[in-house]
């Protein structure tokens, strides 16, 4: 089977993340897998074109705004079978674009202090999580406005500050396309975590229908 053609789309706004540097790190990481061919872009107009050259896209974005043509281009791409992988602040992006957040089934609702915590596997039978063990990370623990009935949860984490458990990774379908969201990814400390990297690789393959 041909490799997944994936577009890593990274943000152009925001001051909290090194989108370009971290986007290059993620693109290089994915290209180390011979089942993935990843390109990096910061060009919003690639969405309006319908992403016709790609099987899937990974979003590492922050804030931003889609025009109607850009949002509809992305949503139609997924509806027709394209894959969408939202990473970290993909949940805080395009806040005025309701169609995007309906597709993602997640809207940023704050986060914990930057801290050490454990990501617990919720479903070890799913290909993204199969064989993975619970793993420790240093990151922000995201809180989401999210409808759990619309998605299948793969990972979660406990926040002792709130005495609450929050979903860290989930998936669902949107039309004929697959959607995967993974809440980790604030900085290099977690990007260099081997368990994080494995989830990113598997997530890309899964939304690209190779896993």
Q: Determine the structural domain holding residue 173 and report its residue range.
A: 4-207
Averaged in consecutive runs of 10 residues, what is the pLDDT profile of the chain (211 residues)? 95 73 93 97 91 96 90 97 96 93 94 95 97 96 95 97 96 98 93 97 98 94
pLDDT at 185: 92
Number of domain units in the chain: 1
Encode burial over 67-81: b for 16+ CB neighbours within 10 A, e otherwise. eeebbbbbbebbeee
pLDDT of residue 64: 86
pLDDT of residue 12: 72
Residue appearing with tokens 């801290």? 115
Angle at 153 (CA atoms; ends 147, 155), nearest 5 degrees: 130
CA dist., res. 132 & res. 85, Å (int): 19
Q: Who contacts 196 (Cβ-Cβ below 8 Å, separation ≥6)?
A: 135, 137, 184, 185, 190
Q: What is the pLDDT of residue 15?
A: 67
pLDDT at 21: 85
Domain CATH code at residue 127: 3.40.50.880
C-beta atoms surrounding 181 within 10 Å = 27
Q: If DSSP codes are grouped into helix, strand and coil, which group holds residue 152?
A: strand
pLDDT of residue 129: 97
**DSSP-derived 3-state class of residue 156:** strand
Global pTM value: 0.96
| CA 138 vs CA 108, 119, 160, 176, 191: distances in Å | 19, 10, 14, 35, 10
């Amino acid at each position: 089977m041909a490799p997944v053609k994936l577009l890593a789309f990274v943000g152009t706004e925001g001051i909290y993340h090194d989108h370009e540097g971290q986007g290059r790190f993620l693109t290089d990481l994915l290209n180390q897998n011979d089942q993935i061919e990843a390109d990096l872009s910061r060009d919003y107009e690639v969405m309006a074109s319908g992403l016709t050259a790609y099987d899937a896209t990974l979003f590492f974005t922050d804030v931003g705004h889609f025009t109607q043509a850009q949002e509809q281009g992305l949503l139609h791409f997924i509806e027709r079978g394209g894959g969408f992988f939202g990473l970290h602040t993909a949940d805080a992006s395009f806040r005025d674009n309701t169609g995007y957040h309906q597709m993602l089934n997640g809207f940023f609702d704050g986060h914990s202090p930057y801290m050490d915590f454990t990501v617990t596997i919720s479903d070890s039978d799913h290909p993204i999580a199969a064989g993975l063990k619970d793993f420790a990370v240093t990151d922000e623990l995201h809180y989401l406005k999210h409808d759990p009935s619309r998605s299948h949860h793969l990972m979660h984490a406990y926040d002792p500050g709130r005495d609450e458990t929050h979903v860290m990774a989930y998936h669902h379908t949107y039309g004929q396309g697959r959607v995967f969201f993974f809440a980790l990814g604030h900085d290099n400390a977690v990007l260099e975590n081997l368990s994080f990297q494995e989830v990113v690789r598997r997530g890309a393959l899964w939304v690209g229908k190779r896993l």
